[in-house]
Structure 1
Amino acid sequence: MATLLNIISLLTCFFLSCSTAEEATSSSKVNITELWGAYSPYFDAGTYLAPPTGCRIDQVNLLQRHGARFPTSGAATGIISGISKLQNVQNYTDSGLDFLKTFAYSLGVADLVPFGAHQSSQAGALAFTRYSDLVSARSLPFVRASSSPRVVDTATNWTAGFSAASHHVYNPSLSVILSENGNDTLDNSMCPNAGDSDAQTDAWLAVFAPNITARLNRWAPGANVTDTETYSLISMCPFHTVASFVPGAALTLSPFCELFTTDEFAAFEYSMDLDKYYGTGYGAPLGRVQGVGYVNELLARLTQTPVNDSTQTNTTLTANRVTFPLDRTLYADFSHDNEMAAIYAAMGLFPQVAALDPTHPAPRGRTWVASRIVPFGARMIVERLKCEETQTRFVRVLVNDAVQPLDFCAEATRKGKGVCELGAFVTSQTYARSGGEGDWEKCFA
């Protein structure tokens, strides 16, 4: 029999059109794991296409984000606060919260979770399967990683997966770890004046969160959950889901996911879009300059010429052919989502016709979608192609297996959409080749 609080809640919802926890679940209609922004587990954004007829791949550059992890310490603080408020309530008006009566928060901090390790190993195996023709005992993948433990662990899981797929014939190792306390092209920590995306994400939070917060507080009278804690509770859905992964079993959604609707996850996704766009993407005055160093390293590998950069590169390492070889056929670098967003922007990928608006819902057709460009385990692959009828080389760029149009390249349609003559690709990277057109100096002015 419904309690008095249940009846009051039902009558309130009749007039306010609010959801129950049962109605909030969205997994039956939409794969909500693809609506978790940068917290989405890796998924293909497109179907991998073979190179154009008559062309073969002769070099591959892989840039990959670390796999799924625990919340950072800052994110964990908000999550624990929100959960504690809900658990301090004696009687819930919706049974969807009942699991909290016995729930105990036990997540770690920032480290790779087993699911992240699993997907990283899968990525390594896929790389061997797809590009095994480029590998030999004398030409193993050259592997680097930024120094965060979760990034290093992702790299070593990738090498393990690569090795296993080759039946342990080819066993690449992690050759270089770039310290995040020094010059590092795989981390966005070298621009003191960069700023952040707080103003934009706070503005969007004030738009989409209040109705969700009100509903949670109706379900848990007296909890007094805040909008910021609501965001944290939504994030518990992806974090708890990936942390609960059991090897050999399918990924199972956390009960926290049942508390929110598809539209609410879409709004959460847009918050992530804004965060990356105004954090290190096109919307940040000093965002894309933080990707210049990596782009210049990429150009050096593609053209097999010394690195020309005065921004993030560690010149001691890049000047040494042991720590920065130019004769490999497969390079693999492991990084963070914020740095990858900066690299995309520096290259000219995922341009927006209009800046993302933090006070209105996400525009349809936007190209900058965090779950599609920087999910956990995200990967950008730059393939260098050699075609039969000419000695000219070409370039393709794929992000999460989706071939990028390279509209910024004057020769992008010579061999088909997304295929650019190497010289034209290099020419197109004027922002990186100029050292950021003066933006790097602004990082310290």
Structure 2
Amino acid sequence: MALALKLLALWACVLLSSCSTAPESTLNTDITRLWGAYSPYFSAGMYTSPPAGCRVDQLFILQRHGARFPTSGASTTIISGIHKLQSVHTYTDPRLDFLKNFAYTLGVADLVPFGAHQSFEAGEDAYSRYRNLLRPENLPFLRASSSARVVDSATNWTAGFSAASHHVYNPPLSVILSEDGNDTLDDGMCANAGNSDAQTDAWLAVFAPPITARLNRWAPGANVTDAETYSLISMCPFHTVALYTIGQHILPLSPFCALFSADDFAAFEYSMDLDKYYGTGYGAHLGRVQGVGYINELLARLTHTPVNDSTQTNRTLDASPATFPLDRALYADFSHDNQIAAIYAAMGLFPQAAPLDPTAAPAHMGTWVASRLVPFSAHMVFERLACTRGAQYVRVLVNDAAQPLAFCADKKTPGVCELGAFVRSQAYAGGGGDGDWAKCFA
């Protein structure tokens, strides 16, 4: 019942178009919004203009890379599950028949053409919405974490931005932050951070056994495990985005998708919610401290003051105006879903009244939903506003949905914070994580 209610809430959003104003020409909306962090980008809310009397005078974009192939670890389990299903002589359900001639050809971790297309479109959209900020002498300043899929997303974003401007504005990718060193766009620096395995394994033990039993009935003798079932569900999104070719207007669904029900995908989504919550979000004892460095860089840019941070920042790069300028009107940083989740938590976005339960899905969809927070090509946007009242304000949007900012919101204008109040609200980051960073290495 809990899964069905959550599914109903998600589908109501889709069917009523209440959670998106973006074109759906490349998406099959029946199930793609139940794929957690593997969901193709969709708007989580309708973009609205700044309050009356205010205009955007500075912009900061934090963007996740576009759709990719499975990572090496995920690929191993996916291939194992597929080989088991292909090893049997007879299927009792025709939905498995495609496997008789199926060959696994996916790559490992790299951006797929659909992911490149997503990033290109994001660059086009950024230009269209914020072109009034641009001047030839003040181009957007771009950084990316060093993973190939992140760098490729950044360069496809710049290509889309340039194309939308008819090649008048051609911003370069100025800084690539090595993931082997200090990097505020990756979550790999906290040695004692731990992971979400205990929670996602607990949920797997709840939702996967009936699905596993069904697959093994359909393929007698396959002996698929629960872990392989999870990986086979993930083949629906991974194979779907891999099937896309440039020029297509519809994202063709993989035949793997037909093996699973809507409830199966809702359970899969909740596993992703748990993963981000207990991996680098509020549920991780050293999750949100991993977002502190980025927030301190954001505060420096917002206030045009030097970066004050002793956590993930690269102090050499951040001290140089060539590699960390403070005078740009538009900044774009390219990152990963786990790091973006840490930044949400460090900032105080999407707070939870109670921890997510790894043994039961919630009866109603909450605010910590991975497909809404960190889908492929997700973006978090900070608009600094200049208003007729004379003060500067900050507005935060996640996948186009304006955030309430209860921790500092202006009483007269909900959803915006006076700049000084916003800076003060980030005391956890400003204080270096209140000692949590040291625990990463103690």
Please indicate the TM-score interval, normalised by the length of the shorter structure: over 0.9
Question: What is aligned with 2:232?
Answer: 233
Alignment partners' CA distance in 2, 1:379 and 1:106: 30
Alignment partners' CA distance in 2, 1:65 and 1:157: 12
Alignment partners' CA distance in 1, 2:371 and 2:389: 39
Question: What is aligned with 2:218?
Answer: 219
Alignment partners' CA distance in 2, 1:78 and 1:417: 47
Question: What is aligned with 1:302?
Answer: 302
SS across alignment from 1:307: coil
Q: TM-score, normalised by structure 2?
A: 0.93
Question: What is aligned with 1:145?
Answer: 144
Question: What is aligned with 1:4?
Answer: none
Q: Does 1:343 align with 2:343?
A: yes
RMSD, aligned CA: 1.3
SS across alignment from 1:268: helix
Alignment partners' CA distance in 2, 1:425 and 1:221: 59
Q: One-letter code of the match for 1:36?
A: W
Q: Does 1:425 align with 2:422?
A: yes
1:352 deviates by: 0.6
> CA deviation digits over 1:364-397, x for unaligned, max 9?
141100000000101000000000132x100000
Alignment partners' CA distance in 1, 2:400 and 2:394: 15
Alignment partners' CA distance in 2, 1:323 and 1:355: 39
1:30, 1:262 within 8 Å by CA — same for their partners in 2?
A: no
Question: What is aligned with 1:357?
Answer: 357
SS across alignment from 1:210: helix
SS across alignment from 1:333: strand
Q: One-letter code of the match for 1:373?
A: L
Question: What is aligned with 1:439?
Answer: 436
1:361 deviates by: 1.5
Q: Does 1:205 align with 2:224?
A: no
Question: What is aligned with 2:366?
Answer: 366
SS across alignment from 1:355: coil
Over 4 Å off, 4+ runs: 26-30
SS across alignment from 2:410: coil
- Change over 3 Å in CA distance of 1:70–1:30 after alignment to 2: closer
1:423 deviates by: 0.4
Percent of residue pairs bearing the same amino acid type: 74
Q: One-letter code of the match for 2:48?
A: L
Flag structure 2 segments of 5+ consecutive residues without an equivalent.
1-10, 16-27
Alignment partners' CA distance in 2, 1:65 and 1:44: 14
1:247 deviates by: 1.4
> CA deviation digits over 1:312-363, x for unaligned, max 9?
0000000001100000000000000000000000000011111000011134
Alignment partners' CA distance in 1, 2:353 and 2:191: 29
Flag structure 1 segments of 5+ consecutive residues without an equivalent.
1-25
Q: One-letter code of the match for 2:411?
A: T
- Change over 3 Å in CA distance of 1:85–1:419 after alignment to 2: same
1:257 deviates by: 0.4
Question: What is aligned with 1:413?
Answer: 411
Question: What is aligned with 1:257?
Answer: 257
SS across alignment from 2:394: strand
SS across alignment from 2:174: strand
Pairs aligned (count)? 417
Alignment partners' CA distance in 2, 1:336 and 1:375: 10
Q: TM-score, normalised by structure 1?
A: 0.92
Alignment partners' CA distance in 1, 2:37 and 2:71: 13
Question: What is aligned with 1:292?
Answer: 292
Alignment partners' CA distance in 1, 2:411 and 2:140: 30
1:248 deviates by: 1.5
